Amino acid sequence: MKVVDAFYSPEAYTSYGIDFYESGKQSGQSHANIPIEGILHVYINNTLFMDITCSPDNLFELTLGRLFSEGIISTKSDIDDIRFEKQSMRMFVALKNSFDKVLSRTITMVSTCESNKQTLSNLNSCSDLPKKVEPIPWDIETIFRLAKVFARDTPGHRTTYGLHSCYLVVGENVLFCCEDLGRHNALDKVIGHALEQGIDFRQTLVFTSGRTPVDMVSKVIRAHIPILVTKAVPTYQSVALAQSHELTLICSAYPDSIKVFSDPEGKYQQANCKIAV
């Protein structure tokens, strides 16, 4: 199984001096590596469209993936120009076509592990989702092998224990690995990398560390990704959405056990089935 290096920057965390206490042992001074939190201000056609609380790395990919996974753009070519002002954390996106209807819903979007709040927006509604994704075959042993790779940990989480991780996989190859304070952001970052590289989402799988509510499942469906695997758990509503759109949903994925909540056509029963490349 081929695994790429994680797309993670040391600028996304810092070392901080602390007082350390252990039960029954002498206290002392130590240090802890903690994530850095930033707010990315995204402007579309010179109008502030959203603020994203995030880890300050892979910001172009985060922006590209967010616009795509929320249905604002349908392809990378919808963007005429994109530029970033590092000092002010402002991303300026120029779209080719008229998006007046979308831009009239100027929002504040905060995406962290704790919250994904939106105002004056229905971006996470399911009304704009495709009717279904196209299922692809998979097999249990491949998922177990991916879970073993995932269990080895990623650089940012291993350093801080405060970040979510997300892989994008084709066949048995992990193409992109991204981390962020928010599970939504980590997913959008791998989607952004895939858009940049022209990857066919219809042949991919995503593996995430975060729980999967409806908005996470919606992002995957909008991207036409057929398989979503998570180390965590789903909600009742997200399972129903996955089933209605024929998304394969595998949760509580560990090296020795998985829980399959949605499996179109029962393809996991085919012992020798592999993900098509």
Tokens matching residue 232: 């965590």
Terminal Cα distance for the chain, rounded: 14
pTM here is 0.84
Most confident segment among 85-99, 101-115, 227-241, 257-271: 227-241
pLDDT at 240 over 60: yes
- The overall average pLDDT reported for the chain is 82
Mind listing the pLDDT tens digit for each residue in 101-135? 555 444 444 444 444 443 333 344 566 787 899 99
CB-CB contact of 74 with 196 (8 Å): no
pLDDT classification of 12: cutoffs 50, 70, 90: confident
User: pLDDT > 90: what percent of the chain?
Assistant: 57
Non-local (6+) Cβ contacts of 117 within 8 A are 108, 109, 110
CB-CB contact of 56 with 30 (8 Å): no
Dihedral sign, Cα of residue 238, residue 76, residue 64, residue 145: positive
Report the distance separating Cα 79 and Cα 7, nearest Å: 23
266 torsion bin: left (phi>0), alpha (psi -120 to 50), beta (else): left
pLDDT at 171 over 90: no
Report the distance separating Cα 157 and Cα 165, nearest Å: 8
Residue 30: what pLDDT?
79
Residue 103: what pLDDT?
53
Point out the least confidently predicted range of 67-76, 149-158, 166-175, 231-240. Answer: 149-158
Select the more confidently predicted residue: 147 or 97. Answer: 147
Supply the DSSP symbol for 17.
Answer: E
